[in-house]
Structure 1
């Protein structure tokens, strides 16, 4: 007798399951996807989306079409609560959905840690669609004949990329010198090797992007940010890249959680407390070893979740997630036609690095853009 697989979230780690949804149907099972949007944007191309390097349709997957074309069901809603004892998920639209096996890939969110972060000209970097709204706002200021002042809060890779790509957008839209500021808080790219930090500093300095070293954003007023030393910095658009945390709060559901608040999973990507619940991507804490919150791991988890969810439905042995090496290649999009490549001790900046990143990203997109995404219309400006 067929079983019911419920996918919560259409993120990167679920793409192989969505692409192969028909194989679940052919085996007698039914798959339901609950996701807040019909389309899922690829975070690796988000900074390029902001600068205009990529059109929206190049950066997204039509997850609704993927699941429906495979004979499954799509529900446009977010997870509100989960009752793992009864195997029922309750959604924000009021629906209660039962399941035999559930897999969670709901991603991460920027915590509301800065006072005033709910203002209409303040944009957290997650979800990635926020960057489209930020782009429109920056362009609207340019249409008034002046340069938008952009403040980026955060000191990680995303903050660096957003500062550089905001600069590229403003440089294309206005004749004045871009006015970009970066408030990195506790440190700028502090988890990266010194060589990478040096290249990133030089990249921003070449374009006159200001870095308020050691200062974070204490609060956001209507058109000014108050930094942690009391300095007031004017802005038209603020981008928040102050770190992410797993979303939602899984401890509310009686599920085992890890040290960072994510769904705690074992080596099979299965919940440590409930064997019929699986997870992948930014919303999990991988029990065997900590994993960086970078896109490479959800991509690697794709085929394993496909295998293990099939196996769980059919009571077959599960496979372990072993591709956990931290020696991955990471390429930062500087926003000026260059990239910074880091792999192990190697650090390189240049056009070749961005070319390689673009090639890798486009190849990944081609693998899962199977529902006519490139023929879709982009949202209106």
Structure 2
């Protein structure tokens, strides 16, 4: 019987595996790729799409087209659970897909528990493709009247989202647009002081308000409430608080880390089930906490690809080494950025030019397989 490989999610950590599906298919392997969309959007360029720097097709990979072109099967669905004993992936359609080896790269999500009621004009910053609808809505309302937009969160995502919303307001025909970043414990509290200072200066210089000191306690359509009881009216709200893996791993009985991510060993293999692997934001790396940044998913690519082949057909498993510090570059939405690595810190147009060049090269590398 042919081996069955199921790839759940077309995220960054699966790019090499997807591009090299032919290597698995040539050995008679049946490959099924599961994803909620025919495309996978690159999160590093999402704020730029919101601001209008990039078109949607410039920041996405055609997961379905690539899978089917190479001879695999694509199933458009949401993964709702895993039955590791029966070796089945459970889908929101009620169907299940059997596997011999499973690889999960299901990403992370913004906790929706802070939002009370329907998501009318409330946009969670993930999934990234939702930022297309957010941009359209800002233009629709902002071309009619002055609007106020609230961004909940104080991390890199909130900074980039706020800066790129500002750029929408600069378009011809837009009425005055005001932005408030609700950063409870301050902007970029876990980043170096120089990075924080440059980000704050950039946002404040453009008239973006940074509201720190009070935490957001509730979000409802048209309003944000802080823990002092003050209500802040907003026409549109972005929720950009810390992302977490989906709860499906714990609910499926797999070992998980403190953040609920699937617990994996140094081979990116589930610590509880040797036929399950994973990468990206949905995993918790045993023995070392990794930031939820795309650089680790990209670094996991070759190890995950090789270990899936080894698990299917035999051979030693490779070890993933996270590596040292990683490059941090923010897109501030006005054609400038912030660059930081190895204590080297600078801002301006050069910083954004470097980010843009790196991101476009990454996209070209994998879009060429489509």
Equivalence for 2:359: 361
Equivalence for 2:113: 113
Residue 288 of structure 1: how far off its partner (Å): 3.0
Equivalence for 2:36: 36
Question: 3-state DSSP class of the match of 1:245?
Answer: coil
* Cα separation, 2, equivalents of 1:268 and 1:48: 34
After TM superposition, the structure 1 stretch with the greater mean CA deviation from structure 2, 248-257 or 235-244, is: 248-257
Residue 148 of structure 1: how far off its partner (Å): 2.8
Equivalence for 2:350: 352
* Cα separation, 1, equivalents of 2:35 and 2:113: 25
Alignment of 1:166-177 (within 5 A): 166-174=165-173, 176-177=175-176
Distance 1:62 1:286, change over 3 A: same
Equivalence for 1:227: 226
Equivalence for 1:64: 64
* Cα separation, 1, equivalents of 2:88 and 2:230: 50
Alignment of 1:1-381 (within 5 A): 2-116=2-116, 118-144=118-144, 146-174=145-173, 176-322=175-321, 324-370=322-368
Kindly provide the CA deviation profile for residues 60-115 of structure 1, in whole angstroms up to 9, marking residues without a partner as x.
00100111111110000011221101111111112111110000011111112314
* Cα separation, 1, equivalents of 2:58 and 2:28: 34
Conserved? CA contact 1:147–1:170, under 8 Å = no
Distance 1:214 1:27, change over 3 A: same
* Cα separation, 2, equivalents of 1:116 and 1:129: 22
* Cα separation, 2, equivalents of 1:279 and 1:336: 36
* Cα separation, 1, equivalents of 2:185 and 2:7: 37
Question: 3-state DSSP class of the match of 1:27?
Answer: coil
Residue 312 of structure 1: how far off its partner (Å): 0.8
After TM superposition, the structure 1 stretch with the greater mean CA deviation from structure 2, 146-155 or 46-55, is: 146-155
Distance 1:175 1:68, change over 3 A: closer
* Cα separation, 2, equivalents of 1:183 and 1:3: 50
Query: Number of aligned pairs?
Result: 370
Q: Which 5+ residue runs of structure 2 have no aligned equivalent?
A: none
Kindly provide the CA deviation profile for residues 210-231 of structure 1, in whole angstroms up to 9, marking residues without a partner as x.
0111223222233222222222
TM-score (norm 1): 0.94
* Cα separation, 2, equivalents of 1:134 and 1:354: 23
* Cα separation, 1, equivalents of 2:200 and 2:130: 26
Distance 1:289 1:222, change over 3 A: closer
Shift >6 Å, 4+ stretches: none
Residue 237 of structure 1: how far off its partner (Å): 1.0
CA RMSD, aligned part only?
A: 1.4
TM-score (norm 2): 0.97
Residue 22 of structure 1: how far off its partner (Å): 1.3
Equivalence for 1:377: none
Residue 3 of structure 1: how far off its partner (Å): 0.6
Residue 177 of structure 1: how far off its partner (Å): 4.1
Residue 34 of structure 1: how far off its partner (Å): 0.9
* Cα separation, 1, equivalents of 2:223 and 2:259: 32
Conserved? CA contact 2:101–2:312, under 8 Å = yes
Distance 1:173 1:325, change over 3 A: farther
